[in-house]
């Protein structure tokens, strides 16, 4: 009887410690391209350090105060605008998924084009999106011109 209990305990422990690739929090698990993964790993860390406090690690935002990024029509609509906002911030009312938000997002002038490229590569290749690698030269080009409607 003791062996059966020990075996059950070991099996439960092994199951509970196994990686959960389908877990929503493990967003890197869905990236199969090694070039994208190189950027996304650092991008995830940068996102958690600079963006996750408000937009949350799962990208769901903070209720009616901070908009979500995950499944966000506003975020998916324009990489150009997203890159610009990461660097220069944003003020004024915006509509995300039919909800109005009017909380200013501070600028992040310390983020380099490479930092923004890595964050963008991470965000635009998780939650079902597959934009591929977004390079620092892509970001430099986008930061060189104000996005339409901004």
Q: What is the pLDDT of residue 110?
A: 97
Q: What is the pLDDT of residue 30?
A: 87
Q: What is the set of domains in the chain, with CATH numbers?
A: 28-143 (1.10.760.10)
List, in order, residues 6 or more apart from 79 with CB less than 8 Å away. 120, 124, 131, 134, 142
Tokens 């901070």 sit on residue: 66
Cα–chain center distance at 92:
22
* Phi, psi at 30, each rounded to 5°: -85, -5
Nearest alpha carbon to residue 137 among 111, 107, 117, 109: 117
Q: What is the pLDDT of residue 1?
A: 63
pTM of the model: 0.81
Task: Decide: 128 and 27 in contact? Cβ < 8 Å.
Answer: no
- For the chain, the residue count is 150
pLDDT in tens, the chain (150 residues): 656 454 454 444 444 343 333 444 557 888 999 999 999 999 999 999 999 999 999 999 999 999 999 999 999 999 999 999 999 999 999 999 999 999 999 999 999 999 999 999 999 999 989 999 999 999 999 999 999 877
Cα–chain center distance at 20:
19
């Amino acid at each position: 009887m003791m062996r059966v209990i020990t075996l059950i305990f070991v099996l439960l422990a092994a199951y509970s410690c196994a990686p959960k690739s389908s877990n929503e929090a493990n967003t890197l698990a869905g990236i199969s391209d090694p070039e994208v993964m190189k950027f996304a790993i650092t991008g995830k860390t940068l996102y958690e350090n600079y963006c996750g406090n408000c937009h949350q690690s799962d990208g769901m935002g903070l209720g009616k105060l901070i908009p979500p990024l995950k499944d966000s029509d506003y975020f998916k609509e324009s990489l150009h605008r997203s890159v610009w906002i990461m660097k220069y911030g944003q003020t004024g009312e915006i509509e995300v998924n039919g909800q109005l938000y009017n909380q200013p997002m501070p600028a992040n002038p310390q983020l380099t084009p490479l930092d923004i490229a890595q964050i963008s590569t991470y965000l635009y290749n998780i939650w079902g999106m597959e934009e591929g690698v977004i390079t620092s030269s892509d970001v430099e080009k986008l930061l060189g011109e104000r996005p339409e409607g901004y």
